Chain A
Amino acid sequence: MHDLLQRFLSLPWDQAPQWLFLIPALLMLVAAAAAVMLRNLIHCALCLTLSFIALGVLFIALGAEFVGFVQLLVYVGAVTMLILFAILLTPASEVAASNNPFRSFSLSKAVNAAGGGVVALLVLGGLLAAIFFSPHAREAVPPAIAATAPAAAIGENLLTHTLLPLQGTAILLTAALIGAALLAKEEKQS
């Protein structure tokens, strides 16, 4: 009992944080899979939100606090609301009796699913290849930039080096806002 405890304590627990990333990563994968497989649209949207939250957690765990919080603020706060409003305000498709993704089986469906799976694997392989064969992949993990103020650094970068894309995004968002207001206004005859 005594040395069992001793052995338990002398396991390499300080290496553990590296494996803790598996928790949000697996959560994100499962949530994303559920988001495409569930039948009830609102449940799909909520699982998608869960995957957004998991991604935000991953960002924060990597030390990119600013991006993580912005991910939570924008994606969970605004994009999720957008998706939910879109689901609720459009005519609903029929809701199946059960939410089980594996409820019915037919050969054509299986072939379709297999084909889709092959395409998805190819895309994933391409992305992984891009990551692993890029010049930065072999470097050691860079020191966390969270020590120096990341928000200030990002802000400075946005307003000096990437100013043009920032202004372009601003114009795009303004155009979208005006378009939405016009579309909504056209309904009323005053």
Chain B
Amino acid sequence: MVMGRNIEAIKRNVYRDIKKNYQLYLIVLLPLIYIIVFKYYPMYGAQIAFKDFVATKGIIGSQWVGLDNFRRFFKSYQIWTLFKNTLSISVYQLIAGFPFPIILALALNNAQNLRFKKLVQTTTYIPHFISTVVIVGIIMQFLNPRFGLINSIIEYFGGEPVNFMGSPQYFKTIYVLSGIWQNAGWGTVIYLSALSSIDPELHAAAIVDGASIFKRVIHIDLPGILPTVVILLIMNAGSIMNVGFEKILLMQNPLNLRTSEVISTYVYKVGLASPMGNYSYSTAIGLFNSVVNFILLVIVNQIAKRVGETSLW
């Protein structure tokens, strides 16, 4: 009874709001349709992970096979390599890449010569705007065994040229270092804005007390940007299964595949890159990855909530 009355009341409320704000509903209609068609319909389509998809039968008509596709993935010999590569690349990237913009932002914040600061900022932001394809192209030019810059330097000092892109052991390092080169400068923007909102009184008081610049960085600047650091760490940790798919795909070649194949590139290859693409199997792997990712994001956010009272939502 009570439930029924509540639902009635809600219905009346919604109806009244639609009547009052019908134009707002009208305005938001197109974006809403876009989201439903291009974001939610694929989630509905992801059910082919549990089916044996045949194009002529369609999503609904294909035969239900339950967890067969997932079982196949867990039994496949690649799975451990894929996991190992995915996790090690993103953890490597997180450990090596995450602190860098923070240190850089703190250093920039200390710089007293404004023109020097501006020059460093403007230059180090540039690579962020270059496309992934061009970045990988640059990497390959520089590491070219015959006339690349890096090998010219190695030879200049009397070393033997190295085929970096063809050696599996270098893949992760090349990926992570080029990522730092491209994004560390731009990564400072958000920290610099957090630093600029720190109350200058704090610094003034610390100076009176005779604190050195280093002490002020540690005791004022760093705590001041900590909430921002935590939020960004959450976002990064939550997408640990989503390594830079495009860049890895572009950097791959048959020689380095042993260390460069990750879950997302494998999903692409199984599903679309081979002539006999297995849609269902590919979707199952992708779905598994999305679910793990989502759970990670929720867990990390819970931890952050408990530890630092900051969270994404």
| A and B associate in one complex | no
Name B's A-contacting residues (CB within 8 A).
none
Name A's B-contacting residues (CB within 8 A).
none
